[in-house]
Amino acid sequence: MPDTAPSSLSTPWIYLASQSPRRRQLLDQLGVAHRLLLPDDAEAAELLEVEWPGEAPDDYVRRVTLAKWQAAAERLAERHQADPAAWPRAPILCADTTVALDGDILGKPRDAQDAVHMLRRLSGRVHRVLTAVVVDGQARLSISAVHWRSLSDDEIQRYADSGEPMGKAGAYAIQSRAGAWISRIEGSYSGIMGLPLFDTGELLKPLDFNF
């Protein structure tokens, strides 16, 4: 939907506090009307993703998602106060995804070399993908196991050089060519993409969304 206040809608709608086009696509799949609620230039959103020493991946992704939701709620409150017509109140959805292997958090790679390092670690292994979703302060966590075949150094380097790993937790996207490396998943495909549809639907049902 257009990124303007959908105040004329008679059906429920939400704010999506995420720049991910994949999350927008998945909300469209559910038929959920939404409007983006993104940080302005003054907000240091990346600081919310800093890991705490010794933090478990499950705890990390829950904490970061709740922190992003709180920041989005404060953002909406400020914008609503300044211009209630342009920024009407509505539920806010936040989500965050991370990849975990051997208890380590594999976040977004810093550069192509870091992506190569992550992909080598994932090659021939089973890792977990964790996606937390928060709607109006209520959280759910989706955990999936992803089985990868072994990769050659050439495959890893070509994928890293493509630029696809950048901005992706674990340095890959399941809907990219990396999907050909996955022999099996146990869990939620949409959760691995970045928004588990089942958990999202369960959080939205109490808010009069019907699926």
State the pLDDT at residue 42.
57
Model confidence at 169, pLDDT cuts 50, 70, 90, reads very high
CB 208 within 8 Å of CB 41? no
Judged against a pLDDT cut of 70, whether residue 199 lies above it is answered with yes
Tell me: pLDDT of 9 over 70.
no
Q: How confident is the model at residue 1 (pLDDT cuts 50, 70, 90)?
A: very low
- Please give the Cα distance from 180 to 198 (Å, whole number): 24
22 pLDDT band (50/70/90 cuts)? very high
Q: Is the pLDDT of residue 6 over 90?
A: no
How far, in Å, CA of 84 to CA of 124, rounded? 53
Strand-strand pairing, 13-16 and 33-36: parallel
Closest C-alpha among 43, 25, 1 to residue 195: 25
The active-site residue, picked from 3, 41, 96, 208, is 96
pLDDT of residue 2: 40
Q: Is 96 a catalytic residue?
A: yes
Tokens of 13: 């709608």
Residue 10 has a pLDDT of 57
pLDDT digits (tens, 9 = 90+) for 171-185: 999 999 999 999 999
Structurally, at CATH architecture level, domain 13-207 sits in Alpha-Beta Complex (3.90)
